[in-house]
Amino acid sequence: MTQQESSPETLWLSGNEALALGAHEATVKVASGYPGTPSTEILENLTGYDNVYTEWAPNEKVGLEVAIGASFAGVRALATMKHVGLNVAADPLFTASYTGVRGGLVIIVADDPTMHSSQNEQDSRNYAWAAKLPMLEPSDPAEAKEYLKQAYEISEEFDTPVLLRSCTRVAHVKGIVASGPITASKVTPGIEKMPAKFVMLPANARQRRLAVAERMEKLALMADHSSLNTIEWGDKKRGIIAAGTSYLYAKEAFPEASFLKLGLVNPLPQSLIKEFASKVKELIVIEDLDPFLETQIKAMGIKCHGKDMIPAIGELTTAVVRTGVSGKAGKTDFAPVELVPRPPNMCAGCPHRGLFYNLNRLKVFVSGDIGCYTLGFLPPLSAMDSCVCMGASIGVAHGMAKALGDEGKGKIVAVLGDSTFIHSGITGLINTVYNKDYSTVIILDNRITAMTGHQPNPASGSTLMGEPANSINFEELCRAIGVKHVRTVNPQNIKETHDALKEEIERDEPSVVITRFPCVLIPEEKKRKKIPLHSNTDNCTGCTACLRIGCPAIHWEPLTAEEVAARGGKKAQKGISRIDEVMCVGCGLCKQLCKFDAIVDGEEKS
């Protein structure tokens, strides 16, 4: 990571890398968040700079609370999260709008239109409106860095937390970014007691509510003259209002049009919008997801097109915008790259495969959660029946148990990963014990937040900054909550796992099964010597037992009747299974299922 104090340098950065640089140049001192695509790399890159404390929090609510505390102490603070994480952080967010700040406080939220890696689409601009907070929306990495620095200036000048909305394309696209000067805060760090401002009892909160209203009026006046909102005059037959990546798509589709580009999307520059609208013949609002701008512009009494032309579902592209406005897709700028089809699947050697294989056999309802293991719902494992949001699996299972009563006994389990259990699953387990149901909770413990790229969590034994840390003992934690029956198994041992699950699921009270084995993709596992298994195809009868675990390292080879006869096989045989020794890591799951010695130990590989 390049660092500089004053010498400008041209860099090639992703949006997330640019945001980390912006935080460095804005002299952020404390940053906290929870990993979630597409926001994860912001904090990971920020650890490369000196003089900033950076951490992963158990969830987004805690991350924002940490940032609020740092702001109260007079330093600039940053909280990062993806769009669904803002729901978790909504409680402190709305009250922080009332308390205001001391040191600048910015919350970066990354939306995910089209749901490339999310359970829902969500337009976080609605949170800015509802919480009465300013929101900035950059369109590329260079703007992301500069907007973040400006967000801290706005935060301290107007005594407010500031939201910065990113999205998948801004977060992950690469662009040219110029480094800039370090802009230090004028706030003096230290403890300053301000109970009327920071203690939100009703009497104080009523006064702060008035301060929030006054602040938003000042911000609206600022918006009309801010360099964040700019008019680009072109052909006045068509005027387009847009922000973020929607501006880039619209600009590429209609370069001849006039544009009002909004960098500050809440509050809106009403006078500027009215001036722009009065000078163009046709006004079109182009924005992804909700009609956030369009609704407010129409409420000003201004006629415009919007969602009657532009879809409200999924990501926009230049072609989508061009087709929506003109009815013609126009030329294709470049053909899409042909990719080799690859069905979603757990990795070869994934420790969760053995668990879901057993859950499928036990024919229970599996209340699932957010993680790599959500792929357990796919055939042939087909062992996940619901998935709502982070940490919801335990509560959903509890609700089902209460609804079904004795009819549901022995039929309901909840599964979630170690990071998700820490994020928001612990409270669900407390509720299960306190309110006395019989469901079994299964913690898939690989000691890492695997889905988002192996970020450490409070069970990992290390921090984001690479320091050794306490590692949560789940067995002791669950017993402390009140779970009487807690057991730990190796999910790579099919029989051991099956017997433990069967016994715990049949209990008439809550139980926890911890399936503990490391993720095959962490560096320690990659370095470990692997002994791939080998196919003894002479013994293969084509029974397909090994295929039922869905390992990508096993494939099926069909045989003709003549080929089967030549092998001495039965007439019913249709083919044989074969192991890809390049992919196989020797976990042994398939060998445990083969009754014909058709899978044998192979040679060691590194």
Collect all residues with Cβ–Cβ distance below 8 Å to 296 and sequence separation of at least 6. 268
d(CA 146, CA 142): 6
pTM above 0.85, yes or no: yes
The structure tokens 């009815």 sit at 327
Q: Output DSSP code: residue 265.
A: E
Instruction: Find out whether 367 and 412 touch, Cβ atoms under 8 Å.
Output: yes
Largest CA distance in the chain: 89
Tokens for 237, please give them: 């037959």
Instruction: Find out whether 478 and 488 touch, Cβ atoms under 8 Å.
Output: no
Question: How much is the pLDDT for 2?
Answer: 40
Rg (CA), the chain: 28
Task: Using the Cα atoms of residue 409, residue 410, residue 415 and residue 418 in order, give the sign of their dihedral.
Answer: positive
Cβ atoms within 10 Å of 16's Cβ, excluding its own: 27
Centroid of chain to Cα 273: 34
d(CA 504, CA 497): 11
Question: How much is the pLDDT for 153?
Answer: 98
Residues facing residue 21 across a β-bridge: none
Cβ atoms within 10 Å of 119's Cβ, excluding its own: 15
Question: How much is the pLDDT for 1?
Answer: 40
Question: How much is the pLDDT for 500?
Answer: 98
The structure tokens 């008019």 sit at 231
The closest alpha carbon to 293, from 343, 369, 240, 329, belongs to: 240
Tokens for 446, please give them: 């690989």
Instruction: Find out whether 587 and 492 touch, Cβ atoms under 8 Å.
Output: yes
d(CA 462, CA 468): 4
The list of the chain residues with pLDDT below 50 reads 1-4, 605-606
Instruction: Find out whether 310 and 321 touch, Cβ atoms under 8 Å.
Output: yes
Three state DSSP letters for 531-564: CCEEECHHHCCCCCHHHHHCCCCEEEEECCHHHH
Collect all residues with Cβ–Cβ distance below 8 Å to 153 and sequence separation of at least 6. 104, 183
The closest alpha carbon to 347, from 533, 604, 587, belongs to: 587
Collect all residues with Cβ–Cβ distance below 8 Å to 140 and sequence separation of at least 6. 15, 170, 173, 175, 248
Question: How much is the pLDDT for 603?
Answer: 67
d(CA 311, CA 324): 8
Nearest-10 Cα torsion for 413, 419, 425, 429 = 60
Backbone torsions φ then ψ of 369, nearest 5 degrees: -145, -175
Question: How much is the pLDDT for 606?
Answer: 45
Tokens for 521, please give them: 């993709």
